[in-house]
Chains A and B, each alone.
Chain A
């Protein structure tokens, strides 16, 4: 990928230049190069090259004092099963978290799209604004709320006894839903907004109850939004580091935490690189599989007769 992007500028100068205004064309191409090249070089050096180096490192060995020693071996990949537990944790809580996100996001999106009226933009902005504030602070807010001196202390004063809300899967799930909700709301809202209200009216006029209208009209038509929302939430949750550390304590250990430990604690860079490469591949496979599955669902949904 690196060589491709760097070889590109030379190619682009040759392509055009057939017009009569030769000097102007040449000036245009010089300008094009000057505008395009810095961005491409930046991506080649700081995005594509690091990925390549990551792949190379994953084939190496850990140096005696930590770090990387050049080698060409698959032993790092053979050791992957030792990280089975964080892998299962990540996928399990990621799936549950995404599902919870959907359950919270759908009624809100539906309300905004069908009952929002003139306040639609404001209602939507209120969902997006918290999303643009610091992820760390949003997660911290829950550490503060669920921590020993927060809600549990209030509950203690009210006579509920000792309640622990922090450092467990519950707190992690709250963190996931809280932080990623907007990513689920936006696409669902957009797809619901596109549903012609006349379709719902027609369904009602033809004698379908609210549940049936929802199941046969609204839900299938908003399926694309659910699919992209699910993907937008699930993928970043897989790479989560902060939420399990701050809200999960030592109880929930995600792939992201395993990666950070491999790089900073045991300094086993080649193994860390192998986990990271597997992680990237996993994400790609998931995206492809998910899209396939989703497309099938949507196709089936569309075939459902309107009556």
Chain B
């Protein structure tokens, strides 16, 4: 009797626990988005629908500049990540065993090492390296006003470390699922390696490469911690948001955050669309 009582509660219990967890996952984000459209300043001040906080946010020259910096960093590090990650993914299966091992350690490190360690070690390294370089430049070219240091490019470098590991893993997974006889056929028909690469391998990998670029872009666009350490004087959107949040909650931050959420989620939508297209085309070919 007792046993059946317990069993009767298991299913609804599980269902409700799951529903509550989903509410927990989505409620905060939804609340921020909803209140970004609220004309009033606070949660308790529900005074109707308004775009005023969006207008305030996106006419602020600091926001616009930060947005531009973020976009430039994300595009650049995304492209670098894609080139590096794809190249290594294609080359690694034919690499000597110890190269594969060293490379795997590096990729794992890039993914596992917490962002804060990646950021601060890069900070130290860039400062040490550029101080040394600047001394040489000053010595070799007296009177030159070249002064290297932290900034845009060190953020790009840091983001591309993680991004390329991401692209590498994605592309390698796809490559493993491809039929190797396609590449073999191409080289048996006397296509030089370059042509096989550009005519066969890369087109087959295109969806994974595109998805990899978008994910690396999204990561870079959203990253706070690596940029926090390596940015120098550059201000990205997350850095700007962070300093505004520390000054206090405001509806303008809700508007900014909601815009960024919209950008990230639409990029993710594109990624999943690319993947779905790809898999449906694959089944068509098989048919």
Contact = CB atoms under 8 A, between A and B. Distances in A.
Nearest to A51: B121
B24 A135 contact: no
A271 interface: no
A144 interface: yes
A140 B245 contact: yes
B6 A39 contact: no
Contacts of A126: 22, 25-26
B122 interface: yes
B205 interface: no
Nearest to B45: A149
A269 B131 CA distance: 15
Given A108-B18, A136-B241, A154 B161 contact: no
Interface stretch (B8-16, B52-60, B61-69, B135-143): B8-16
B265 A133 contact: yes
A246 B164 CA distance: 30
A127 interface: yes
A132 B218 contact: yes
Contacts, number: 242
Contact of B28 (A31, A127, A178, A210): A178
| A42, A132, A145, A211 interface centre (most CB from chain B within 10 Å) | A42
Given A39-B84, A149-B42, A276 B28 contact: no
Given A12-B95, A50-B122, A107-B17, A130 B26 contact: yes
B128 interface: yes
Interface stretch (B111-119, B173-181, B279-287): B111-119
| A47, A125, A130 interface centre (most CB from chain B within 10 Å) | A47
A256 B88 contact: no
B203 interface: no
Contacts of A108: 17-18, 21
A246 B161 contact: no
Contacts of B39: none
Contacts of A183: none
Given A111-B15, A143-B245, A57 B124 contact: yes
Contacts of A27: 192-194
Interface string A1-39: 100110010011001000000001001100110111011
A129 B44 contact: no
B164 A39 contact: yes
Interface stretch (A76-84, A221-229, A237-245): A237-245
The prevalent SS among residues of B at the interface is helix
A157 interface: yes
B88 A40 contact: yes
B124 A149 contact: no
A11 B116 contact: no
Given A8-B102, A241-B225, A259 B161 contact: no
A150 to B, nearest CB: 5
A85 B87 CA distance: 45
Interface string A210-232: 11000000000000000000000
Q: Please list the 10 inter-chain residue pairs (A to B) with the smallest Cβ-Cβ separation, ordered nearest first.
A: A239-B114, A141-B28, A50-B125, A39-B88, A50-B121, A35-B87, A134-B222, A35-B91, A36-B91, A107-B17
Interface of A: 1, 4-5, 8, 11-12, 15, 24, 27-28, 31-32, 34-36, 38-40, 42-43, 46-51, 53-54, 57, 67-68, 104, 107-108, 110-112, 115, 125-127, 129-130, 132-138, 140-145, 147, 149-151, 153-154, 157, 178, 181, 209-211, 235-236, 238-239, 241-242, 245-246, 256, 259-260, 263, 269, 272-273, 276, 279-280, 283
